[in-house]
């Protein structure tokens, strides 16, 4: 098949396609009617179009002509009308499909929400029963063996009115290291303090840092990897590195 032939077929297709509307309405006479029939035999696209147009013919019979365009239209315009009718029908069908899809999405979303709510309820029930179980069966937390120490306030300006005051201080020996606990007031607000443990070799092992809260009481738990038997002293220094608390232990 050469290009010219193909081109001719394409042109014929375009030309005859315009007549399909008139064809389904039975408005064509020879030779156009014959040409359309012959073309339909060999053109699947046009056959499909006719198949779409045919159901509309019955509907067109029911159309009130006064609702059509005001201009009296020539018969040749019918095909175009049917084409636009088909386009409108297609648009409506697509709109319905979109609406269906939206409804399905809303349904899915509702179902998802329901599932989520159900899942959340299960979690809440699990948590609630966990708490109930915890209350009922958890052993009393073992009392932490706190070794009280006398942490002395050092340094000029730290003692006295507005200075550091300790309510309690102690060490906890853990398998993984040593913890310093104390409750006190008077650590200058916003100042970073550092705690450390000294071992028998004089080395300082950091045990963490904390921010002063001024007059507000604070409860600190500072931890280090140094094991309790290694610890010979506790030292807390201020931002300048000056010792503010210390204790031989």
Q: How far is the CB of 59 from Zn ion (least distance, A)?
A: 24
Instruction: Give the residue carrying structure tokens 């443990």.
Output: 197
How many CB atoms are located within 10 Å of the residue 70 CB? Answer: 6
CB of 76 vs Zn ion, minimal distance in Å = 18
Q: Are 209 and 187 in contact (CB under 8 A)?
A: no
CA dihedral 23, 24, 25, 30 (to 10 degrees): 20
Distance of closest approach, residue 96 Cβ to Zn ion, in angstroms: 29
Least distance to Zn ion from the beta carbon of 97, Å? 27
Nearest-CA neighbor of 196 among 151, 162, 165, 164? 151
Tell me: does residue 13 bind Zn ion (CB under 5 A).
yes
In this complex, which beta carbon is closest to Zn ion, that of residue 50 or of residue 60? Answer: 50
- For residues 134 to 163, the per-residue mask of contacts with Zn ion, x marking binding by CB under 5 A and - elsewhere, is ------------------------------
> What is the total count of residues that contact Zn ion (CB under 5 A)?
3
Per CB under 5 A, the segment of 5-13, 55-63, 93-101, 147-155 that binds Zn ion is: 5-13
Give the N- to C-terminal CA distance of the chain in Å, as an integer: 105
Q: Give which of 163, 164, 154 is closest to 220, Cα–Cα.
A: 164
Q: Does the footprint of Zn ion cover residue 47 (CB under 5 A)? A: no
Considering the complex, state which of residue 3 and residue 41 has its C-beta at the smaller distance from Zn ion. 41
Alpha carbon dihedral 120, 122, 128, 131, in 10-degree steps, equals: -100
Instruction: Please identify which residue in 20, 28, 43, 236 interacts with Zn ion, judged by CB under 5 A.
Output: 43
- The candidate with the shortest Cα–Cα distance to 189, out of 210, 168, 169, 212, is 212
Residue nearest to Zn ion (CB): 43
Q: How far is the CB of 7 from Zn ion (least distance, A)?
A: 14
Binding stretches for Zn ion (CB under 5 A):
13, 43, 46
């Amino acid at each position: 098949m050469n290009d010219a032939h193909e081109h001719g077929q394409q042109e014929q297709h375009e030309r005859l396609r315009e007549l399909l509307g008139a064809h389904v309405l039975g408005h064509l006479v020879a030779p156009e009617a014959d040409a359309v029939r012959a073309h339909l035999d060999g053109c699947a696209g046009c056959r499909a179009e006719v198949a779409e147009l045919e159901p509309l013919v019955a509907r067109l019979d029911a159309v009130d002509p006064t609702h059509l365009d005001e201009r009296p239209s020539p018969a040749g315009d019918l095909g175009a009308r049917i084409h636009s009718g088909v386009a409108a029908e297609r648009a409506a069908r697509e709109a319905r499909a979109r609406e269906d899809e939206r409804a399905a999405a809303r349904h899915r979303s509702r179902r998802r929400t329901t599932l989520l709510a159900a899942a959340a309820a299960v979690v809440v029930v699990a948590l609630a029963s966990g708490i109930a179980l915890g209350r009922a069966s958890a052993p009393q937390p073992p009392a932490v063996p706190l070794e009280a120490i006398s942490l002395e306030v050092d340094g000029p300006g730290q003692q006295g009115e507005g200075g550091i005051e300790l309510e309690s201080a102690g060490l906890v020996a853990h398998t993984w290291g040593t913890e310093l606990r104390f409750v006190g007031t008077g650590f200058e607000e916003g100042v970073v303090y550092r705690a450390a443990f000294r071992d028998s070799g004089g080395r300082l092992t950091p045990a963490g840092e904390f921010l002063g809260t001024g007059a507000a009481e604070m409860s600190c738990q500072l931890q280090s990897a140094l094991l309790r038997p290694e610890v010979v002293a506790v030292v807390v220094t201020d931002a300048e590195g000056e010792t503010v608390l210390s204790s031989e232990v």
